[in-house]
Amino acid sequence: MQSIPLSTTDSISNGADGTQVRLKGWVEEIRDLGGISFLLIRDGYGTIQVTVIRKSAPAAVTEPMKGLSRESVVQIIAVVRKSEKARKGVELIPSELKVISRAQTPLPMGVVDKVDVEVDTRFDNRFMDLRRSEQSFIFRVRAELTRFLRQKLAEMRFVEVSTPKIVSEGAEGGATLFNVDYFGRKAYLAQSPQLYKQMLMASGLNRVYEIAPVYRAEPSDTVRHVTEYVSFDAELAFIDSMEDVMATLETLMVHAIENTAGKLGGEGEALGFHLNGELKRPFPRLDFPECIDMLRSAGRKTESAEDIDTEGEKVIGSIMRDKGYDMYFITGFPSATKPFYIMEREGTPYSNSFDLEYRGMEMASGGQREHRYSELTRRMEEKNLNPHGFEFYLKAFRYGMPPHGGWGESMERIVQQFLSLGNIREAILFPRDRARIVP
């Protein structure tokens, strides 16, 4: 019997009526109704009903069913039968049932139970939480978004790179860096691949990207911040202006979101997710002073003239959604609030910088970089950074650095907003924040 190919629940249809199949999965539910029992088997691709008529079922089925617990892993060999009453229009009539791995009882949490589970219980038992269809769906969406991003990046001649995650200096200062003892020397976990991306702009790899973890030692306890997340970073050389960078990012976001919604939208609706893949283009470019005026007009009288806080982002997001835009750029932030590598707008207190916003939440931060060595070192000194400590980075700017720009973007925030998740931790398999370092 083992020569029967392994089937999956989604591949078994009523067109297979009368055929024999072999299936492995978890026992989701067991219902005993006198002389008949029903098992629901789940294999990560769906669920299917197994019907056991005890009077006629062989001992190879009835004996293993004794004491069978929910979430045990089983293998069944069965015949497919059409059934109007069954969920998929088919049921399986088993000739053999083998318990591969028996689940202990009680379960640490329910999988299909109607009772709500505390979020800490879910994350403590993430392996079981992900057996729930709505939870595993989140990560299938994330995988498709990433796949479509890579697909478009390849078309646009980007090269995927990997940069160090143990570094000697931080790209944005030391306040949010994790210290590492590197064989007796001080080092840090990378908060961004920024410095390495820029160095590569002097290498001839004119367009690079990286999708990899970064680390922020921020003492934040919010629904949009975590300590470790996956950043989608890219850098482009030989740009004419910051507009080249924004146009590239816009193209990528539209491609990834539209295609993911097209592929998984129907399945998402069945699970309670609405995947809106329609992004009105072009994304508006809202200059920073314009945003401050919008906020003050909306009653935000105390809004800072130097930055836009979380609540301010939400207000602007609401205004833009009323105009039909889910995504838009805020451009030209004050130079004083931006890292040393962002180019200033000459003769103004503003910078060639942008944030990509998605329904009132910052997704990406980027801009045109300062490629002129003298201006770059001046900016470092203004930010109280010692250029000598960045010699490994500055060397690339002394031997022909082209104009360039790029961005860093949180993959988790894209998923969070795309699926309207209440907490960014829902978009992370094993989230890390101030309180959680296991599992």
The residues that are catalytic are: 216, 218, 224-225, 362, 365, 413
Residue type, 411: M
Give strand pairing partners of 75: 24, 98
Cβ 327 vs Cβ 357: under 8 Å? yes
Please work out, in degrees rounded to the nearest 5, the angle formed at the alpha carbon of residue 113 by the alpha carbons of 111 and 114: 135
Distances (CA, A) of 130 to 112, 135, 426: 11, 5, 11
Backbone angles phi, psi at 308, to 5 degrees: -120, 120
Distance from chain centroid for Cα 43: 24
* Residue that the structure tokens 């998929």 belong to: 88
Residues 49, 81: Cα–Cα separation, whole Å: 10
Give strand pairing partners of 39: 30, 50
Q: Which helix (H) or strand (E) holds 338?
A: none
The side-by-side arrangement of strands in the sheet containing 404-410 is 159-160, 207-215, 228-237, 404-410, 361-368, 353-358, 327-331, 285-287
Cβ 249 vs Cβ 256: under 8 Å? no
Residues 214, 84: Cα–Cα separation, whole Å: 51
Residues 44, 350: Cα–Cα separation, whole Å: 51
Backbone angles phi, psi at 241, to 5 degrees: -165, 175
Residues 233, 348: Cα–Cα separation, whole Å: 28
Sequence-separated (6 or more) residues with CB below 8 Å from residue 225 = 216, 218, 424, 433
* Residue that the structure tokens 């629901």 belong to: 40
Q: Which helix (H) or strand (E) holds 242?
A: helix 242-270
Cβ 38 vs Cβ 57: under 8 Å? no
DSSP string, 19-77: -EEEEEEEEEEEEEETTEEEEEEE-SS-EEEEEEETTTS-HHHHHHHTT--TT-EEEEE
